[in-house]
Each structure stands twice: as C-alpha cells, then as structure tokens.
Amino acid sequence: MASTQLNIKNKRARFEFHIEDVFQAGIVLSGTEIKSIRNNKASILESYCVVQEGEVWIRNMFVNAYENGSHYNHLPRSDRKLLLNRKEILRIAKFLKIKGNTVIPLKLYLSEKGWVKIEIAFAVGKKLHDKRHDLKLKDDQREMDRAMKR
C-alpha cells in the first residue's frame, strides 16, 4: 500500500449544510481509481448522492487519473456506485423526496481491511443567516481561547 492514511474530507459540508444522519458505505472502484485514491488524489467537495433504479450513486466525485496508468485509465468525474443495504437505500430515497434535502459525502477513508469507505450524510442546506451565526460562534470561541491563554 502506498499510504495507510487517507485525508480526503469535505471541509465545507458542515458549514454549508445542517447534518442530520451519517452512514458508512462501500464504493465500487476500478483498479486505477483505487491506486489514485490511495495516493490522496481525489476530491469530494462538489459531490452528492442520488438514487437511481434502487441503487445509490455518487456524482461529481473527482478522482485524478493515475499517473502510471495506460489507456485503461478511468474517467475523473464518472458516477460511482455506493454499496449499502436495502433498508438504507430505501431510507435515503425517502429522505431525498423532500424538497431541499440532499445526501453529501463527508469523508473518504480506508477500513481496517484496506477497503475504501465513504461516509455520507443526510443534509439540509443552511441559510445565509445560519452561516453568519456559525461564523460568529467560531469567532467568539477563538476570542475565549485567546483570553484563556493570557
């Protein structure tokens, strides 16, 4: 293995959305995709999940082309299938039927067995005033930490 630690996170997710529930899912990858992900050459910042024909797919996930791959290399922004059980898929489909709800990835990580897993979450978009409130709380916390240091 190239690296045992993956550090691929969606840093904007908790700022842009209210997170309601979190799932872990497997992801179907080809050979060059897994090699590229193990080299931390992927991004889930703009990606989201959809349900099609009873399966959950992640869209707009960027996996850079593997530098040592030949003409068998994968497409960087193709849809990738997520591996979930039937109850979870039905729950996700029911959640997505409500307007304004979305399913977003939070992080990509390696399991103990070496499989690439993705953490997905039910999310509802925040309004501008919610984001301002979060920034104000963050600034207040930073000021308190500075005061405690002194």
Range of the domain at 108: 8-149
Question: Has residue 2 been placed in a domain?
Answer: no
pLDDT per residue, tens digit, the chain (150 aa), is 444 577 789 988 888 899 999 999 999 988 788 888 888 888 899 999 999 999 999 999 988 887 776 667 777 788 899 999 999 999 999 999 999 899 999 999 988 888 999 999 999 988 888 889 888 999 999 999 999 998
CATH number at residue 131: 2.40.280.10
Question: Has residue 89 been placed in a domain?
Answer: yes
The helix (H) or strand (E) run that includes residue 97 is: none
Question: Has residue 3 been placed in a domain?
Answer: no
- Give the pLDDT confidence score for residue 2 in this predicted structure: 44
Question: Has residue 33 been placed in a domain?
Answer: yes
Question: Has residue 127 been placed in a domain?
Answer: yes
- Give the pLDDT confidence score for residue 35 in this predicted structure: 84
> What b-and-e string marks burial along 29-48, b requiring 16 or more CB atoms within 10 Å of the CB?
bbebbbbbbbeebbbbeebb
Domain count, the chain: 1
- Give the pLDDT confidence score for residue 4 in this predicted structure: 59
Question: Has residue 113 been placed in a domain?
Answer: yes
